[in-house]
Homo-oligomer: A and B are copies of this chain.
Amino acid sequence: MISRILAADLPAHVGDRVRLAGWLHRRRELKSVSFLVIRDRSALAQIVLRRPVHLAEETVVEVTGTVAANPQAPGGAELVDPVIDVLSEPVQPPPFDLYRPVVSGALPTILDHAPVALRHPRLRAPFEIAAAGVAGFRAALDGLGFVETSTPKIVGSATESGANVFGIDYFGRPAFLAQSPQFFKQTLVGVFERVYEVGPVFRAEPHDTARHLAQYTSLDAELGFIHDHRDVMAVLTRALAGMHAAVAERAVNAVALLGIDVPKVPEEIPAIDFTEAQDLLARHTGEDPRGEPDLAPAHERRLGEWALREHGSEFLFVTGYPMVKRPFYTHPDPARPAYSRSFDLLFRGLELVTGGQRLHRHADYLAALAERGEDPRAYQGYLAAFAHGMPPHGGFAIGLERWTSRVTGAANVRQTTLFPRDLHRLTP
């Protein structure tokens, strides 16, 4: 048997007898000729027949035929004199036409029918971009001496933020799904100095928004022997640059299909201090946010516009958030202890990444927990790392689906999640 070629490679085989395999994407019957469009993982290919065929869309076929040049066919070549073998037949039609350029269904319908809806080239494309982004993230950090790790998703106490955790029955004992690998990645700085993890995190998010999911993929990194949070920002910049470069290189078809612009990450991302950002907002908007402990989404949008206008950058670091809005392990700024050595990264006016320097001295952890009225015994495994000597360190976490949404322009993070889980959705 002739070995299979992909639809995208058809133009290189003009004159050859070849075999394609894929799904019947579309069928058009004219008076004396029929056209079949076959979809495989690479592209679409047109098949020309001199007789009608009675196959439903999504039939899985193998087609052996001769490649002929045709400027009007997708890719500039088509298959003529075909022999068609049916590998399997659908038992029902798709809930909407997969061959139309844009899907007609509403988002809930699309999500309910994800197993077939995701076959639509435009709905599939964001996931090719996500895969490329993750590969770029890893390549950048591998090049900086990081070690990839896998840490437990089942934990014994709901310590990091308390609220919004999923409870598990763990052999008759209560346990919880990890909200982040935060404690583990810090602990592992004591082992490997530089670690990253790409894995699921879980939030029992009670709000039904376009930005929140019960499970998402977190790209976590943590590194030791830093001077302050700016060393973390430099590594994040390299990681993001790797992600965007990998998309440009590895997801060419998906980027072209969606017609999106994937911005290059600047060598140095502009940064503004939290209090300066508030001053700027007070000067340029009707409101005065000074004194507030955090930025509202509208303020983040304004800052994003400012960064684009003033610095030509779609990215902006906001540094030095008030300690009061940051988790207990956050390192304060020694010069102004009410503010932290932390940052958010805004991408197109939306928070994409949170990070910063962490405390590293055992006594500082005991003091920070005491100040929040927390029992250190609930943090025993975590505190052990600090009891045995830890370097100054920090890190960050990127939400993969949120990044993909921003890059692709998706309005809802569910469009960049293969089978989203939320307050209402537990299937498919």
Residues of A within 8 A of B (CB): 4, 21, 23, 40-41, 58-60, 87-92, 94, 113-116, 118-119, 124, 127-128, 130-131, 134-135, 138, 142, 145, 147-156, 166-171, 173, 175, 177, 184, 187-188, 190-194, 198-200, 202, 204, 206, 214-215, 217, 225, 360-363, 380-382, 384-385, 387-392, 400, 418-419, 421, 423, 426-428
Does the CB pair A145–B389 fall under 8 Å?
no
| Chain B positions within 8 Å of A115 at CB level | 187, 190, 381-382, 384-385, 388
In the complex, besides A60-B390, A151-B418, 18 extra interface pairs with C-beta distance below 8 angstroms are A4-B225, A21-B391, A23-B389, A40-B193, A87-B391, A88-B361, A91-B387, A113-B384, A119-B388, A131-B147, A131-B149, A135-B138, A152-B215, A153-B202, A154-B215, A168-B168, A170-B214, A171-B206
Does the CB pair B41–A193 fall under 8 Å?
yes
Give the residue among A91, A217, A388, A421 with the most B Cβ atoms within 10 A: A388
Query: CB-nearest residue of chain B relative to A1?
Result: B227
Contact status of A169 and B170, CB under 8 A, knowing A58-B388, A145-B41, A202-B154: no
Number of copies: 2
| Chain B positions within 8 Å of A191 at CB level | 118-119, 124, 127
Does the CB pair A149–B92 fall under 8 Å?
no
Query: CB-nearest residue of chain B relative to A214?
Result: B154
| Chain B positions within 8 Å of A134 at CB level | 148
Does the CB pair A418–B119 fall under 8 Å?
no
| Chain B positions within 8 Å of A177 at CB level | 168
Query: CB-nearest residue of chain B relative to A89?
Result: B389
Q: Which 3 A-B pairs give the minimum distances between C-beta atoms?
A: A381-B428, A58-B389, A90-B389
Query: CB-nearest residue of chain B relative to A119?
Result: B191
Does the CB pair A360–B153 fall under 8 Å?
no
| Chain B positions within 8 Å of A114 at CB level | 381
Question: What CA separation (Å) do A163 and B329 show in the bound complex?
Answer: 40
Does the CB pair A426–B170 fall under 8 Å?
yes
Does the CB pair B199–A200 fall under 8 Å?
yes
Does the CB pair B418–A150 fall under 8 Å?
yes
Query: CB-nearest residue of chain B relative to A384?
Result: B115
Picked from B145, B154, B166, the residue with its CB within 8 Å of the CB of A421 is B154
Does the CB pair A59–B389 fall under 8 Å?
yes
| Chain B positions within 8 Å of A202 at CB level | 153-154
Would you mind naming 24 contact pairs between A and B with Cβ atoms under 8 Å apart? A4-B225, A41-B147, A58-B389, A59-B389, A90-B388, A91-B387, A115-B187, A115-B385, A116-B190, A116-B384, A116-B388, A127-B192, A131-B148, A149-B418, A150-B400, A151-B419, A152-B215, A152-B418, A152-B421, A166-B169, A170-B214, A173-B426, A200-B200, A384-B428
| Chain B positions within 8 Å of A4 at CB level | 225
| Chain B positions within 8 Å of A206 at CB level | 171
Contact status of A87 and B392, CB under 8 A, knowing A115-B384, A148-B135, A152-B421: yes
Question: What CA separation (Å) do A391 and B119 show in the bound complex?
Answer: 13
Does the CB pair B194–A41 fall under 8 Å?
yes
Query: CB-nearest residue of chain B relative to A4?
Result: B225
Question: What CA separation (Å) do A387 and B135 show in the bound complex?
Answer: 33
| Chain B positions within 8 Å of A387 at CB level | 90-92
| Chain B positions within 8 Å of A204 at CB level | 171
A402, chain B: closest CB distance, angstroms: 13
Question: What CA separation (Å) do A115 and B198 show in the bound complex?
Answer: 20
Question: What CA separation (Å) do A90 and B149 show in the bound complex?
Answer: 25
Query: CB-nearest residue of chain B relative to A170?
Result: B426
Does the CB pair A381–B427 fall under 8 Å?
yes
| Chain B positions within 8 Å of A91 at CB level | 362-363, 387
Picked from B147, B200, B362, the residue with its CB within 8 Å of the CB of A127 is B147
